[in-house]
Structure 1
Amino acid sequence: MKPLPVIALTGSDGSGKSTLATSLVARLRTVAPVEQLYLGQSSGKIGDWIGTLPVIGPRFKAYLVRKSDKVHDQPGKPPGNVTALAIYLLSRWRAFKFRRLLAMARRGTLVVTDRFPQAEKPGFSIDGPQLAKTEGGNWWVRMLRQREHRLYEWMATHVPLLVIRLNVDVETAHARKPDHKIASLREKIAAIPHLHFNGAAILDLDGRDAADHVLESSMRAVTAALQVAGA
């Protein structure tokens, strides 16, 4: 399959993805139609929105956070029916945004994404299927797990033109994102370098370098990738 006109930025929280995405889009808009798209599952933003609902909002948000943390901290234990459904719907939301990405690509738009779904390793924290981190469960949970995995397998068949992977150590990541759990950051930092994104071209950069240096290195790689794609 021909690579999508997509520049996918990956890396741990605190690696500089958002800063680089904004800068890349600003530079690329001078030479081509380009859009920026966030491809995370957006559970934090959805949780914040739920928290604003009157009366039940704060309690329901706290409930979802506890359930999400339980799945992350106890992956060997199958989730309950409601938790499994909530996780599956978050994956469906990610797939909805991915279809928006495909529509942009069909229009000839170059898309810069913050994160990109993969089916190699489970876990929302590294953009994989979350229910695949768990085992067992009743027929409902098993069905949702299978459907979620097929969803990620479908998304992963689409290869981005270039993956820019920002590598960073856990101390730097936590200094930039002090509200994140160190254990979670450490898990992401250990797993992300081993993702291959279905054979996509990958540029590894040091997220601790100056933002200008990271941007210039990225622009050179993007320019080269676009030239090869247009050849």
Structure 2
Amino acid sequence: MVSFSPLSDGPRVLPVIALTGCDGSGKSTLASALVSHLGEKASTEQLYLGQSSGKIGDWIRDLPLIGPPVGRYLGRKSDRVHERPSEPPGAVTALAIYLLSRWRAHKYRRMLAMCRRGALVITDRYPQAEIPGFLFDGPELAKTQGGSWWVRWLRERELKLYRWMATGVPMLVIRLNVDEATAHARKPDHKLASLRKKIAAIPHLTFNGARILDLDGRDDAAHVLDASLRAVHGALEATPA
């Protein structure tokens, strides 16, 4: 298996296969299949590296009494940041966004711990600092400008956090590409505008110069898995042990 080097200030290649692509591209299905096949010969772990705002929002809304109104309040605040990014968020909204980024960093540290144990980690999504916005797994506050000293401080802290996570370069990024019609058909609960933005932005992400395999997420799942396995084995052979 690939060795894991300690944290440093510069980029370092990690024993990580990162799956990226728009919602509905097949990342979760491919991740499970890769873990099943690769796990037969070596220690392989799976980890979701999105910021999980949807699941957290569901948890808040399910709280007795205060859950529904608090959930609606946070939802309105979140929508405002997405729809009017040039306006600085309020102190509470900025803090909520920053805490979501801290939660993602917590999961990123879990990934590093898996790597240290000698596991090959398959991630669904991967943090980056090239394009701002949770929609693209980047820093959300970086989309906004101005604000109070508190908001500016949180923005700087969040950006620093994402830049640190981006120094961990996956040994392979598998990018699953789909058109917006396919994505929306598979994920009808997602806003078409958001899916369209993801599809337009994802091809521009480089993940600090990582090796990237582009696949068509509309292809047969067996074909996508076979091509992915060949690329993973190639990346493992090319990475010093």
CA distance in 2 between partners of 1:64 and 1:189 (Å): 26
Correspondence 1:40-189 to 2 at 5 A: 40-189=50-199
CA distance in 1 between partners of 2:18 and 2:237 (Å): 17
CA distance in 1 between partners of 2:69 and 2:45 (Å): 36
1:194 matched residue in structure 2: 204
CA distance in 1 between partners of 2:12 and 2:127 (Å): 17
Give the number of the structure whose residues are more often helix, by fraction.
1
CA distance in 2 between partners of 1:89 and 1:47 (Å): 13
2:229 pairs with one of 203, 210, 219: 219
1:207 matched residue in structure 2: 217
Alpha-carbon deviation of 1:51? Answer: 1.2
TM-score, structure 1 normalization? 0.98
Amino acid at match of 2:219: D
TM-score, structure 2 normalization? 0.94
Q: Is the partner of 1:154 in helix, strand or coil?
A: helix
CA distance in 2 between partners of 1:49 and 1:211 (Å): 32
Q: Deviations over 1:129-174 (max 9, x none)?
A: 0000111101000000000000000000110010000011100000
CA distance in 2 between partners of 1:199 and 1:96 (Å): 24
Amino acid at match of 2:198: K
Amino acid at match of 1:216: D
Question: Is residue 88–residue 144 contact of structure 2 (8 Å, CA) maintained in 1?
Answer: yes
1:31 matched residue in structure 2: 41
CA distance in 1 between partners of 2:159 and 2:225 (Å): 34
CA distance in 2 between partners of 1:121 and 1:82 (Å): 24
Identity %: 72
Q: Is the partner of 1:10 in helix, strand or coil?
A: strand
Alpha-carbon deviation of 1:49? Answer: 0.7
CA distance in 1 between partners of 2:233 and 2:126 (Å): 20
CA distance in 1 between partners of 2:77 and 2:18 (Å): 29
Alpha-carbon deviation of 1:61? Answer: 1.1
Question: Is residue 81–residue 89 contact of structure 2 (8 Å, CA) maintained in 1?
Answer: yes
Alpha-carbon deviation of 1:230? Answer: 4.2
CA distance in 1 between partners of 2:42 and 2:57 (Å): 35
Which residues of structure 1 form unaligned runs of 5+?
none
Which residues of structure 2 form unaligned runs of 5+?
1-10
CA distance in 2 between partners of 1:196 and 1:51 (Å): 36
CA distance in 2 between partners of 1:120 and 1:2 (Å): 17
2:5 matched residue in structure 1: none
Amino acid at match of 1:214: V
CA distance in 1 between partners of 2:164 and 2:181 (Å): 35
Q: Is the partner of 1:4 in helix, strand or coil?
A: strand
Report how many residues are paired.
231
CA distance in 2 between partners of 1:194 and 1:60 (Å): 36
Q: Is the partner of 2:130 in helix, strand or coil?
A: coil
